[in-house]
């Protein structure tokens, strides 16, 4: 019989591996299983690379608390492990000064140092090409390559004695004599406890463990363009919109990544497969589950127009360009090259709500991370710390 681990974790993304590291640091014997060949293949390696400050999220929510704590832990890790990053702040723009003032109140509530409202001439000191008239400066924001962070966490976990097994797609989960028995197409694994960090498939994995969550993971693709080198002087750091609280992931931003390239995006297009990185990636079984889900019907009815315009922008580069030109001038179609897209795992409730906060659900000797969208990369080490505390 295989050895019995204290905890088995499904998913070698940044959340699964951060959880593994924090549990291993507590002296647990931890096994991480992933269907891919390396860490961070999906959301964790295909995102905007922004280290979020925590300003956007409702105070005392999981997102707010875990983002603020996670950012601290991430900075500590990046310093100790020499992970390239830049923390030079961002400006959050809107021509409606009232929205800027409201966001600033949130910063005050959270005691965030150095956040300030900028007038037009001050905006131009930070971003000389920005077209907006009012903005909030948020010095805590930064950029990093989360794929590198995920790989570093995987190495650290391995060096503490943790085990990661790749090419193991978990297909069944059973509980026998209080032991979790996980089976992939190749092997069977046993553990006292299971943590589900399967990202886009976290709802499916929860159902394997006899959980019937009141939500489904709906895949929304986020596409990006990279500006040509000749235009990279147009953005110094980051120009972000103030997002609609009901649709937090809408609205593209301009970000100088750790390599100095300017990225514009992401949009939000319903994907035809959980890992549907292109229009041509279609999985009929997954897509039919998405569109037959009651919550998706309700969501679609409410946001039909927005959904269509996001799709139109995805198919029409000129529309994407128009949105970029709202922020900065002098960009042409020839300046835009597509970048690797990502797919967000967004939980939607059966009432058709986009679930905003992180969701953790307990099972029988198990814990399921059922909603970990942005800023979960920033928050990952704090999510790991929180789960490790709960499991211990
Ligand atoms: C477009 C986009 C932009 C984003 N921008 C930011 C940002 O700027 N800042 C930020 O903080 N966050 C951002 N996020 C959010 C962040 O990337 C995610 O919240 C985070 O990566 C989630 O990590 P995860 O480990 O939960 O999921 P994932 O990285 O998706 O990992 C899940 C893993 O589970 C594995 N898996 C699934 N099913 C099985 C199975 N049955 N058996 C075995 N393995 C399985 C998968 O192969 C995968 O490796 C963004 C996300 C996207 C998509």
What is residue 2's predicted lDDT score, i.e. its pLDDT?
A: 65
CA of 44 to the centre of ligand 1 (A): 4
pLDDT given at position 299: 87
Q: How many residues does the chain have?
A: 392
CA–CA dist 9, 197 (Å, integer): 7
In this structure, the residue with its CA closest to atom 13 of ligand 1 is 374
Burial 329-354 (b: 16+ CB within 10 A, else e): eebeeebbeebebbbbbbbbbeebeb
372 lines ligand 1 (CB under 6 A): yes
Cβ-proximal residues to 146 (8 Å cutoff; 6+ apart), any chain: 14, 40, 44, 45, 47, 49, 377
| Res 78: pLDDT | 98
Query: Is ligand 1 within 6 A of the CB of residue 144?
Result: no
Mutate to test the pocket of ligand 1, among 186, 206, 376 (most ligand atoms within 8 A of CB): 376
The rounded Å distance from CA 285 to ligand 1 centre is: 21
Regions of the chain short of the pLDDT cut 70? 1-2
Q: What is the mean pLDDT of the chain?
A: 95
Are 189 and 201 within 8 A, CB to CB? no
Evaluate whether 66 touches 14 at the Cβ level (below 8 Å). no
Question: What is the predicted pLDDT for the residue at 347?
Answer: 97
Q: 306 C-alpha to center of ligand 1: Å?
A: 24
Please give the DSSP secondary-structure letter assigned to residue 364.
T
Distance 331 CA to ligand 1 centre (A): 31
Q: What is the model's pLDDT at position 1?
A: 54
| Of 137, 60, 146, 40, nearest in space to 378 by CA | 146
Separate counts of helices (H) and strands (E) for the chain: 11, 20
Evaluate: CB of 384 within 6 angstroms of ligand 1.
no
Cβ(383) – ligand 1 distance below 6 Å: no
- Entry pTM: 0.97
Question: Is-contact 23 155, C-beta < 8 A?
Answer: no
Contact 268, 310 (CB under 8 A): yes
- Centroid of chain to Cα 100: 24
3-state secondary structure at position 27: coil
pLDDT attached to residue 361: 98
Ligand 1 near 201 CB (within 6 A): yes
| CATH dotted code for 4-89+140-391 | 3.50.50.60
| Token pair recorded at residue 23 | 């549990």
Where would I find the H helices in the chain? 14-25, 62-81, 97-109, 120-126, 146-159, 202-208, 284-292, 294-302, 304-315, 317-327, 376-391
């Amino acid at each position: 019989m295989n050895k019995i681990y204290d905890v088995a974790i499904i998913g070698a993304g940044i959340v699964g591996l951060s959880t593994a590291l924090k549990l291993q640091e507590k002296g647990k014997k931890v096994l991480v299983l992933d269907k891919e060949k390396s860490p961070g293949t999906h959301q964790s390696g295909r995102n905007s690379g922004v280290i979020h400050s925590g300003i956007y999220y409702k105070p005392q929510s999981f997102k707010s608390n875990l983002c603020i704590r996670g950012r601290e832990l991430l900075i500590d890790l990046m310093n100790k492990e020499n992970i390239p990053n830049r923390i030079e702040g961002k400006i959050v723009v809107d021509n409606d000064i009232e929205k800027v003032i409201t966001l600033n109140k949130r910063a005050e509530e959270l005691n965030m140092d150095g956040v300030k409202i900028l007038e037009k001439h001050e905006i131009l000191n930070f971003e000389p090409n920005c077209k907006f008239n009012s903005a909030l400066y948020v010095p805590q924001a930064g950029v990093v390559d989360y794929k590198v962070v995920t790989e570093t966490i995987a190495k650290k976990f391995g060096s503490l004695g943790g085990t990661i097994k790749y090419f193991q797609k978990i297909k069944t989960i059973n509980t026998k004599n209080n032991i979790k028995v996980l089976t992939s197409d190749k092997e069977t694994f046993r553990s006292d406890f299971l943590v589900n960090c399967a990202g886009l498939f976290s709802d499916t994995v929860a159902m394997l463990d006899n959980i019937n969550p009141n939500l489904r993971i709906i895949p929304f693709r986020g596409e990006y363009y990279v500006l040509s080198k000749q235009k990279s002087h147009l953005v110094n750091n980051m120009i972000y919109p103030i997002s609609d609280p009901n649709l937090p992931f809408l609205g593209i931003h301009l970000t100088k990544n750790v390599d100095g390239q300017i990225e514009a995006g992401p949009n939000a297009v319903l994907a035809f497969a959980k890992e549907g990185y292109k229009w041509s990636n279609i999985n009929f079984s997954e897509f039919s589950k998405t569109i037959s889900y009651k919550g998706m019907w309700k969501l679609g009815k409410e946001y039909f127009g927005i959904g269509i315009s996001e799709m139109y922008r995805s198919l029409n580069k000129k529309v994407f360009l128009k949105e970029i030109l709202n922020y900065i001038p002098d960009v042409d179609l020839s300046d835009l090259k597509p970048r690797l897209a990502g797919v967000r795992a967004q939980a939607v409730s059966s009432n058709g709500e986009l679930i905003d906060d992180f969701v953790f659900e307990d099972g029988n000797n198990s814990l399921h991370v059922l909603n970990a969208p942005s800023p979960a990369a920033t928050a990952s080490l704090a999510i790991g710390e929180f789960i490790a505390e709960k499991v211990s």
